[in-house]
């Protein structure tokens, strides 16, 4: 008997949703990362920190973590590099000596003013592939998938639906 006769309906990887999300997202991230690197010498984590600090004016590292969704270590390293480059000012938090308050210095502010239009432009180029309707729908879909993923990850730790 032939041993490789499939017992299950084969799975087509390129139709598999997590795979498709991953491939497309990696392509987009790679493209944007290349542009940021070329023009500003910034990695994506660094770029994100500049974006949120530039928008909020002044943030603790902890708040940057919340706003960017990145973990402590990644934010910490991005902050250190940005400070080394002279783009980010760090001073002690007045009420908590463990924490620090971050703000853009003048050079950082200058880069921020360039970063934002470039980001908008790149996003516009990307979005041009979609109708406004599709763009709106995509936003909703990403929210829904995000929520569902969070629920599924939660069911992991909990014992399941009590059965």
Partner DNA sequence: TTCATATCGTCTCATATGAGATTAAAAGCG
Partner DNA sequence: CGCTTTTAATCTCATATGAGACGATATGAA
Site residues for a second copy, window 41-60 (CB under 8 A)? 48, 51-52, 54-55, 57-58
Shortest Å, Cβ 145 to DNA: 18
User: With respect to DNA, which residue has the nearer C-beta, 45 or 54?
Assistant: 45
Does 152 contact a second copy by CB under 8 A?
Answer: yes
Does 72 contact DNA by CB under 7 A?
Answer: yes
Q: Which of 95, 152, 153, 154 touches DNA by CB under 7 A?
A: 95
Long-range CB contacts (within 8 A, 24+) of 77-86 = 77/45, 78/43, 78/45, 78/46, 78/48, 78/49, 79/49, 81/43, 81/46, 82/46, 82/49, 82/50, 82/108, 85/41
Q: Which does 136 bind (CB under 5 to 8 A by kind): a second copy, DNA, none?
A: none
Distance, CA of 147 to CA of 56 (rounded, Å): 26
Shortest Å, Cβ 87 to DNA: 14
Does 11 contact a second copy by CB under 8 A?
Answer: yes
Does 67 contact a second copy by CB under 8 A?
Answer: yes
Does 45 contact DNA by CB under 7 A?
Answer: yes
Does 84 contact DNA by CB under 7 A?
Answer: no
CB 114 within 8 A of CB 106: no
Q: Which of 27, 73, 80, 92 touches a second copy by CB under 8 A?
A: 27
């Amino acid at each position: 008997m032939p041993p490789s006769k499939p017992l299950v309906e084969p799975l087509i990887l390129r139709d598999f949703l997590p795979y498709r999300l991953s491939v497309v997202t990696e392509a987009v991230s790679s493209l944007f990362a290349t542009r940021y690197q070329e023009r500003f010498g910034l990695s994506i984590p660094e770029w994100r920190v500049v974006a949120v600090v530039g928008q909020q004016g002044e943030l603790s590292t902890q708040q940057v973590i919340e706003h960017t969704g990145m973990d402590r270590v990644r934010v910490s390293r991005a902050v250190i590099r940005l400070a080394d480059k002279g783009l980010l000012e760090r001073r002690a938090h007045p009420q908590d000596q463990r924490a620090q308050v971050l703000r853009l210095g003048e050079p950082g502010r200058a880069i921020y003013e360039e970063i934002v239009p470039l980001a908008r432009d790149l996003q516009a180029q990307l979005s041009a592939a979609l109708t406004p309707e599709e763009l709106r729908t995509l936003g909703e879909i990403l929210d829904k998938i995000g929520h569902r993923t969070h629920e599924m990850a939660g069911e992991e730790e909990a014992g399941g639906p009590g059965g």
